[in-house]
A = this chain, B = another copy of it.
Amino acid sequence: MVVVPPTGVPERSRATVYDVAERAGVSIATVSRVLRRPEAVSRATTQRVLDAVRELGYVPSGSARGLAARRSGAVGLVFPDFDDVEEIDPVCLSDEPVTVRPDPPGGAEPVTNLYMGEVMRGVEIEAWRHSLSVTVAVARGARKEAVLDDLAGRVDGLVVLGGTVPADVLARIGRSTPVVVVAGHRDGDDHDHVGTANGPGMRVLTEHLLHAHGLRDLAFAGGAADVSDDRDRFDGFRAALRAAGLPAPEAPLLRGDFTQARGRDLARRLVDAGDLPEALVCANDQTALGVLDVLLGAGVRVPQDLVLTGFDGIDAAGRSRPRLTTVHQPMVELGRVAVDALLQRLAGPGAPPTTRVLPVQVLLRESCGCGRA
């Protein structure tokens, strides 16, 4: 890293209401009114105050405002830790401004990040609509709980991704701060919940395979067993089979962890065993894409030799060859509805906890035999 030698010299002040009031020749109450309820102040006074604000570069203190108003005007967003680290080293950079690397290995899988990114965009959009700011925190490392408390203390409510925070910790925090859980089962808690129609979506997809394509020998490749989304999807899969009078397996044929790498492992096992089902229904797109990769490499044709489906509707699923039939989750809406739920909770603290289930879209594409192949 190159550090360019500096040039100028900045100075920094921090004006307060008192400074502005003095300069404008009014009381601090009037300054506050000009900024919060302009309709309550005369035209001339407003102008004088605004001039003083501009001249002093006054920016109201969020802390003071939050304290006085008893609400911070911020929502907190809690993510799980993808990197799963306890320690992160300080930044370490090459001294060379440019290095050359021949053909390095492909990047990691940014997909989970993408999912989070979409949810976050939704949260941000809805927060923006209501003039709220968004503070994010990753529940990571040993100080995890402290980080969460800190966040809870500085926001009006929390949006937490399911499974990110242990139930007991969340319950404790919920005592003082409204919590909305996104994509997680209600386990006897009192939080508001927002989720998607995982089970029905998977059921409709499975029924499509059964009825539109006349398939009978379907297998399920699961994700992480302790994730409620996975359970719901598997249940939807089984429900479709049972409704068609077919035997429903007790457990997924294969069990992955939602990653593409594990999807590859599963596919290799499948190929090695030599006993392919007619269709492999995967618990999520990443798994399916990993499977697809290996299958194609092994000469298995999709969908001719094997029908393959995913779940989530991530971008990459629409760009694979063949394009992946999947179930699209409204991730941005998940975030937006979560904020809505939070606002309603803040408006009516006494109301009983709610659960919202967002609709999904089954996208029929090439990997099941639909779409333009």
Stretch binding the partner chain, chosen from A159-167, A272-280, A330-338: A330-338
| Beta-carbon contact of A362 and B91 below 8 Å | no
Interface presence of A365 (CB below 8 A): yes
How far is it, in angstroms, between the C-alpha of A319 and the C-alpha of B319 when the chains are bound? Answer: 11
Report the minimal beta-carbon distance from A12 to chain B, rounded to whole angstroms. Answer: 5
A256: interface (CB < 8 Å): no
The residues in A between 155 and 180 inclusive whose CB is less than 8 angstroms from any CB of B are 155, 172-178
Q: Which residues of B contact A365 (CB under 8 A)?
A: 103
Asked whether, in the complex, the Cβ of A357 is within 8 Å of the Cβ of B1, the reply is: yes
State whether B98 touches A175 (Cβ < 8 A): no
Question: Which of A104, A108, A323 has the most CB atoms of chain B within a 10 A radius of its CB?
Answer: A104
Given A8-B352, A98-B197, A133-B135, answer yes or no on A121-B113 (Cβ-Cβ < 8 Å).
yes
Beta-carbon contact of B61 and A67 below 8 Å: yes
Distance (Å) between the CB of A326 and the closest chain B CB? Answer: 11
Q: Which residues of B have CB within 8 Å of A154?
A: 61-63, 66, 72, 74, 133
A94 within 8 A of B: yes
* Complex CA–CA separation, A365 to B104 (angstroms): 8
Is residue A137 contacting chain B, with contact meaning CB distance below 8 A?
A: yes
| Chain A 169-194 interface residues, beta-carbon cutoff 8 Å to B | 172-178, 190
The answer to whether A97 and B200 touch (CB under 8 A), given A10-B174, A13-B175, A371-B102, is: yes
| A residues contacting the other copy or chain, number (CB 8 A) | 118
Chain B residues positioned under 8 Å from A143 (CB to CB): 131
Interface assignment of A44: CB less than 8 Å from any CB of chain B: no
Q: With A and B bound together, what is the CA distance between A14 and B72 in angstroms? A: 14
> Is A36 interfacial (CB-CB < 8 Å)?
no
Which residue, of A9, A73, A126, A136, has the highest number of chain B Cβ atoms within 10 A?
A: A136
Closest Cβ of chain B: how far from A161's Cβ, in Å?
15
Which residues of B sit under 8 angstroms from A147, Cβ to Cβ? 128, 131, 133
Residues on A lying within 8 angstroms of B by beta carbon are 1-4, 6-15, 57-67, 72-74, 88, 90-91, 93-104, 106-108, 110, 113-114, 117, 121, 124-126, 128-129, 131, 133-138, 140-141, 143, 147, 149-155, 172-178, 190, 197, 200-201, 203-204, 208, 315, 318-319, 323, 330, 333, 336-337, 340, 349-366, 370-372
**In the complex, the 5 A-B pairs of residues with the closest C-beta atoms, listed nearest first:** A62-B154, A63-B66, A6-B352, A57-B175, A103-B371
What are 8 pairs between A and B in contact, CB < 8 Å? A3-B354, A3-B356, A12-B349, A57-B175, A59-B153, A91-B337, A94-B359, A106-B315
